[in-house]
A and B are shown apart, each in its own frame.
Chain A
Amino acid sequence: MKKIRLGDIAYARSGDKGDGSNVGVFVTRREHYDLLRERLTPEVVRRHFHAICKGKVVRHELDNLLALNFLLGDSLGGGGSESLKTDAQGKTHGLALLLLELEV
């Protein structure tokens, strides 16, 4: 078993969606997309963000862009102007996801 960091094969962008955030992650090779689709489950993402995301995680698939879109519920400390957090808009959640390690 060898470990790869998601950031070695994928790109990501994140932003706010109400009091949660969305994290879009994509790759450029079909075999990597198949790997992501199989291994990057909502449960894996929820565990990765356990200290940030207090709500549920929903996943959408975009086969055409080799992309997955994750919605992280209640991940902004209130969201919008209610949040006191430095990253009140989830701008850094994309990079946070890219730190995830997968065993391949």
Chain B
Amino acid sequence: MRAPVLVGYGQGFWGDSILGPIRLVREGPLHYLVLDYLAEVTMSILQKQKGRDPRTGYATDFVAMLDRLLPELVAKKIKVVANAGGVNPVACMQAVLELARKKGIRGLKVGIVEGDDVLARVPELVAAGEELRNMDTGAPIATVQDRLLSANVYLGALPIAECLAQGADIVIGGRLTDPALVAGPLLHEFGWSPTDHTRLAHATVAGHIAECGAQCTGGNFTGWREVRDFVRIGYPVIEAHPDGTFFVTKHAGTGGLIDTRTVTSQLLYEMGDPRRYLGPDCVADFTSIRLEQAGPDRVRVSGIAGAAPTGTYKVSASYANGFKAVGELTISGPEALAKARLCAEIVFGRLALDGAVYAEHEKLVELVGSGVCHAGIVPEADPPEIVLRLGVKGPDRRKVDRFGMELVPLVTSGPPGVTGFAGGRPKATEIVSYWPALLGKDKVRTAVRVEAVQ
């Protein structure tokens, strides 16, 4: 057993900078590179892609990242764990195996975790009496079953550890929880019992701190003036110890800031009830976490109470819920505020002339620059220019598209100083709504598979 184990979190979401993984691998020691690519809405996009082409449906950015880093990862014996498989881990594995073959890397073992995707099983589950009620509204999933776009359970550390135990150098999963990407490797490395909920709670909290990449190393910190060198901000490296305690660190010489405040900030991110942080592996009590500054850019985390997980997995489902369109125009001053307000009236007035009337909750008017993010808190400003942001939504696609045609005409038929219309007509896009539910763990079968590059 090696100790400590160093786990770097190189990607906080799909769209995060590729400099995260590149610099984690090149600028300091690392045992595991882990990357998160999935958000609720991502799964529905990937299901649609897979529907059009069965070889797609995974995070292609992951393969592009490996294309740049694979030889170095192999040379440094850094293992990789990612939920890049999306709704098609098999296709993602094939793409990685193909890439490794092309690069002449033989013997590399690529593993996948399957079983999270329950979309095709929803009819059978509903027929068997599973209601998959929406955790927020209480409605049964049958009410949106004909519009479902994706349905995945959140899997945890266990199948990841199993995949690593089978010798995988790269583990690809679908809907693995973000913290499990850290907890899985630690469970494997330290040989903890899956019922050691205290240690798993530590690993889960480590994953929670690191899961948004640089958001624990100085990014999005409200004390931002103290953060040095944002350009070369270091991504987090969890230095984990066999007893569960860990240090939040980053590579020496990188930018950013790690102290008890930047770590506390991230602990509070997307927090619900802090006493019951629910995950597939354990329940962690965030009110027991102890933080200590252990050196420059180094915070020790310990004392975390963990309990057995619940008997259910969280299901993240999504369904089609109508259409929306949003467009922007820039209104220069003088009197930008009054003119922007007039422009909004003109657009919705002209739409009404043509029979397109939208309910109040289907419309949006934002005078960006006047104080929209902090509406009702800061006084409305009349700045030298305003970005007028208009939007509509609703079940009727044509009515949403009709809105988009009435923005550009303002340039010549409204008050003076309307400009900045670069994106063309805003077109209706599908609204994907989230459906959180619970499903008994006995209803889900996970499987792992490892293949070597021939």
Contact = CB atoms under 8 A, between A and B. Distances in A.
Interface string B206-223: 000000000000001111
Contact of B378 (A13, A50, A94, A99): A99
B359 to A, nearest CB: 13
Contacts of A81: 41, 324, 431-433
Contacts of B377: 48-49, 51-52, 96, 99
A35 B375 CA distance: 26
Specify which of B264, B324, B393 lies most central, judged by the most chain A CB atoms within 10 Å of its CB: B264
Given A62-B286, A81-B41, A16 B270 contact: yes
A49 B221 CA distance: 21
B269 A65 contact: no
A92 to B, nearest CB: 4
A56 B326 CA distance: 28
A81 B264 CA distance: 28
B192 to A, nearest CB: 24
Contacts of B366: 85-86
Interface string B366-381: 1010001111111000
B270 A15 contact: yes
A44 interface: no
Contact of B272 (A17, A65, A86, A95): A17
Contacts of B321: 82
B222 A12 contact: yes
B292 to A, nearest CB: 12
B436 interface: yes
Contact of B376 (A12, A51, A78, A92): A51
Contacts of A13: 220, 222, 265-266, 268-269
A51 B373 contact: no
B166 interface: no
Given A13-B220, A64-B288, A86 B268 contact: no
B287 A94 contact: no
Interface string B108-147: 0000000000000000000000000000100000000000
Given A18-B436, A96-B373, A98-B222, A65 B267 contact: yes
Contacts of A28: 260-261
Interface string B49-85: 0000000000000000000000000000000000000
Instruction: Please indicate which of the listed interface residues B271, B291, B321, B432 has the most CB atoms of chain A within 10 Å of its own CB.
Output: B271
A14 to B, nearest CB: 8
Given A24-B265, A26-B264, A85 B376 contact: no
Nearest to B321: A82
B364 interface: yes
Contacts of A49: 376-377
B263 to A, nearest CB: 9
A13 B291 CA distance: 18
A19 B136 contact: yes
Interface in B80-122: none
Interface in A1-46: 7, 11-13, 15-19, 22, 24-26, 28
Interface in B248-287: 260-261, 264-275, 286-287
Interface of B: 40-41, 136, 220-223, 260-261, 264-275, 286-291, 321, 324, 326, 364, 366, 368, 372-378, 389, 391-393, 431-434, 436
Interface of A: 7, 11-13, 15-19, 22, 24-26, 28, 48-52, 60-65, 67, 69, 71, 77-82, 84-87, 91-92, 94-96, 98-99
7 contacts: A7-B222, A11-B221, A22-B270, A48-B377, A77-B364, A80-B434, A99-B374
